[in-house]
Structure 1
Amino acid sequence: MKPYESYTVEDFLEDESFRKWVQGQGTQEIFWLSFLDKYPGCRDTFRQAEHLIRAANVDGERLSEKEIRAEIERFIEAVGGKEDHLEISFSDDDEESGRTIFWKRWLMAAAAVLVLGAGIGWYYYQNNASAPQLAANTASPANLVTTRNDTSKPLVIHLNDGSEVTLSPKSYLSYPSEFADSARVVYLTGEAIFSVKKQGQTFMVHTGKVVTKVLGTRFVVSAFDDDRNITVQVQTGKVSVYVDKPLEKEVKGLIITANQAAVFEKSANQLSKTLVENPEKLPNGAVENILKYDEVPLPVILRDMEKSYGIPVQFDADSFWACKITVAFSDESMYDKLSILCKTVSASYEIVDGQIVVSGKGCSK
């Protein structure tokens, strides 16, 4: 058993299993996800090492000792450092693996840069020609850590406020290593699931022209550069979505709740509200099951559905009250349930502004 309780930042960086887990490539995900529950005293070193690895999105074989020294000296000169010369030496007879040698070298290089007061994410982002640039409308401030997911699997990012971001492949997120007291602001290109920890500060996600603003909830943002739309889908809680127009005094937006989605059409510069593709029942919902009804008025079933999924359902209660329904549902989706109910009473439904509207002649008394 490794002495995890006494692990330093360097120990984490040298641990191949830890590095692979941070990069979304490991097979010990359960162990590392529960690591801080077992070793809470390692939280600071664990997070520091995690941020350093995410910022160091670089192939170790490409960096020689000479290249590391040259890059650091060039960085010092660029930022106006007072050091006349910086020496970094390594032992040529190191018996450890080449990968471990790289991480030791990278840690020393990172430390040298951090001593100068610059974030390691900024350093590598500025010097890595292959790193994608944030879109002009997503201009983010300096000194942010930029995490890219170049793997084929979702990558989990733990922010310092306790929030969690699951970054989809071909996506990247820029965020401060420590949030300011006034607000928590991140910048996304691609797709990510956000589980935001509720705090006093607002949490804001910038994606091109669209800003998603929350206090604490779970939602999905999809904002790939090549897509025609930017979408925000809420799984739990409530968020506000608006188009960022700093030159206009009035900023119009939408409030969306569970199972609703905001869609920004780039070509039309228009924001609209709809429902998610596959609504899920709310956790701890007022109605646990919508399964079996025996001669129950349709309005009662529709209200149960409204409470179960958290989606407003509009209909003429007087017209449909005489429609008595006998039905047994199993694992049908919400839309399938609606279709079955509507066919039973010769009605129809449509999605309007994030709501379900059921229309029809109703039933004779």
Structure 2
Amino acid sequence: MQEYRDLEPEELALDSSFQRWQLGTDPVAGAFWREWLIQNPDKADLVGKAASLLLSLHTTYGQQFTERLPISEHEIQEEISRLHDSLETPVVSAKWFQWAPFRYGVAASVLVVLGLFGWHQLRPSANKTPETYTELVAQATESLSEVNNTTDRPVRVDLPDKSTITLYPKSRVSFDRQFAGTKREIYLSGKGFFEVVKNPSKPFYVYANGLITKVLGTSFTVQAYDGAGQMKVVVRTGKVAVFTQKEVALNPKKETYKLDGIVLTPNQQIVYSTEKIQLKKSLIENPVLLEQASQKQQFAFKRTPIADVFATLEQSYGVPIVFDKDLMRACYLTAAFTDEPLFEKLDLICKTINASYKQVDGTIQISSNGC
């Protein structure tokens, strides 16, 4: 959200998300901007100026756009003059705020842009980022195959590259029949468990109602039902990067492989709140042993340095454990575990060495005063 702080009012007025909020066409955008103002109270004046300009232009030219009439140079000059003449007249913006007028010669630059490109730049539905399954499938350029699971049990979907999807009830996917391009792209509505064949030269993307998950070869679950308030990505093996369609929209010149997604490893998940426009990384409720560890790992310790104990847990569950090695250098553990869940193991270990732990951003953080 930092990039909005650096905009001029006329630039903000041309932002599609800001327009959808001010013109009342997108409740999700409205929630985003209300939260943004809470986090950036010093930018209220910026928002007010942009809103005043946008609403003025919308009032003046909305009808002309509806009737497909061109905006003339004379009308542009008249609007510039009108804006300057209203310097001492209060202006009411959108329904959320009331602002004082602004002395802004840059209004002219906005109007010139509108004169060049037409009022469609400010049309409420213009430049809307495609997010839903229907929108994404509609904009796809390749010929897609669709599988719709209308049964009451999961079904297996075989993809052209030998990857598979376990598609849950009330879910559907669409994909290129050949994966002929430089990317393997899947469009999902609902819930699916993916087992992806590795192919570094052709990355694998899952687009699911506002979330994008990128992998090279791994297994993971995506849950993103139409109209749901939360979306979720859970990793079983390998590594994925998760980012949102809005991030792509805000960086239109940036390739998706260069976007700064949130990286997930086994036993980690992302929960995306559509109301708060927020990605939250955490551990899954009950982390499981990695496949390679489940068959050979022993959890028997006899006066073992605590650093080695935590390293064993990290390797077995793939969950980062953060602690102060110097402070806990004198801590040792003698214990034997079998099939206890990870958090139960940690409870017992921490009680033994007089420590505590908490989950932070998909990791385990240990607190201790030493031994």
TM-score by length of 1: 0.59
Query: 1:151: Cα distance to partner?
Result: 1.6
CA deviation string 1:270-292 (max 9, x = no partner) = 12321122222223249932421
- Do the aligned partners of 2:133 and 2:208 also contact (CA within 8 Å) in 1? no
2:161 paired with 1:161: yes
CA contact (8 A) 1:223 1:230 kept: yes
Structure 1 equivalent of residue 210 of structure 2: 209
Aligned partners of 2:209 and 2:225 also within 8 Å: no
SS of residue in 1 equivalent to 2:327 = helix
Partner of 2:276: 268
Match of 1:358 among 336, 348, 366: 366
- State how 1:176-255 maps to structure 2 within 5 Å: 176-199=176-199, 200-245=201-246, 246-249=248-251, 251-255=259-263
In structure 2, the CA distance between the partners of 1:275 and 1:224, relative to structure 1 (3 Å rule), is: same
The AA in structure 2 aligned to 1:253 is G
- Cα 1:153–1:159 change in 2 (3 A) is same
| 1:342 to partner: Cα distance | 1.1
| Alpha-carbon distance in 2 for matches of 1:264, 1:158 | 27
Shift of 1:323: 2.4
5 Å-filtered alignment, 1:5-154, equals: 134-136=133-135, 139-141=138-140, 143-154=143-154
Cα pair distance change 1:226/1:317, threshold 3 Å: same
Displacement of 1:138 in angstroms is 6.4
Match runs of 1:280-319 below 5 Å: 280-285=288-293, 288-319=296-327
C-alpha separation in 2, matches of 1:278 and 1:138: 35
Q: Which moved more, 1:192-201 or 1:242-251?
A: 242-251
Identity, % of aligned positions? 38
How far, CA to CA, are the matches of 1:345 and 1:211 in structure 2? 42
CA distance in 1, matches of 2:335, 2:218: 34
- Helix, strand or coil at the partner of 1:320: coil
Q: How much has 1:333 moved relative to structure 2?
A: 0.9
Query: Which residue is 1:29 aligned to?
Result: none
SS in 1 for 2:133: coil
Contact kept, 8 Å, 2:137 with 2:174, in 1: the verdict is: no
TM-score, normalised with respect to structure 2? 0.58
After TM superposition, give the deviation of residue 181 of structure 1 in Å: 2.6
- Seen in structure 2, the aligned counterparts of structure 1 residues 189 and 272 have a Cα distance that, compared at 3 Å, is same
Q: Secondary structure at the match of 2:349?
A: helix
Deviation at 1:302, TM superposition (A): 0.8
2:328 matched residue in structure 1: 320
**Cα distance in structure 2, aligned partners of 1:270 and 1:153:** 31
C-alpha change, 1:263 and 1:137, in structure 2 (3 Å) is farther
Residue of structure 1 in register with 2:174 after alignment: 174
Could you say if the C-alpha distance between residues 328 and 173 of structure 1 is closer, same or farther in structure 2, counting changes exceeding 3 Å? same
Matched residues, number: 231
What amino acid sits opposite 1:248 in the alignment?
A: L
Rounded to whole Å, the distance in 2 between the matches of 1:277 and 1:298 is 24
Counterpart CA distance in 2 for 1:134 and 1:256 is 23
- Structure 1 CA distance for aligned equivalents of residues 183 and 361 of structure 2: 30
1:82-102 deviation per Cα after TM superposition (whole angstroms, max 9, x unaligned)? xxxxxxxxxxxxxxxxxxxxx
Q: Is the 8 A contact 2:355 2:369 kept in 1?
A: yes
Q: Aligned Cα RMSD in Å?
A: 2.1
Deviation at 1:135, TM superposition (A): 4.5
> Secondary structure of the residue that 2:292 maps to in structure 1?
coil
Alpha-carbon distance in structure 2 between the residues aligned to 1:276 and 1:135 = 30
Q: Any unmatched runs of 5+ in structure 1?
A: 1-132
Which SS does the other structure have where 1:336 is aligned? helix
- Tell me, yes or no, if the aligned pair for 1:138 and 1:209 is still in contact at 8 Å: no
Change in Cα spacing, 1:238 to 1:170, as seen in structure 2 (3 Å) is same
- Equivalents in 1 of 2:346, 2:294: separation in Å? 19
Deviation at 1:327, TM superposition (A): 1.2
Higher relative contact order (CA 8 A, sep 6+): 2
Q: Distance in 2 between matches of 1:140 and 1:231?
A: 24
Distance apart, 1:230 and its partner CA? 1.2
Q: Would the alpha carbon gap of residues 298 and 178 (structure 1) be closer, same or farther in structure 2, given more than 3 Å must change?
A: same
Partner residue in 1 for 2:99: none
CA distance in 2, matches of 1:278, 1:148: 30
- The answer as to whether partners of 2:136 and 2:187 remain within 8 angstroms in 1 is no
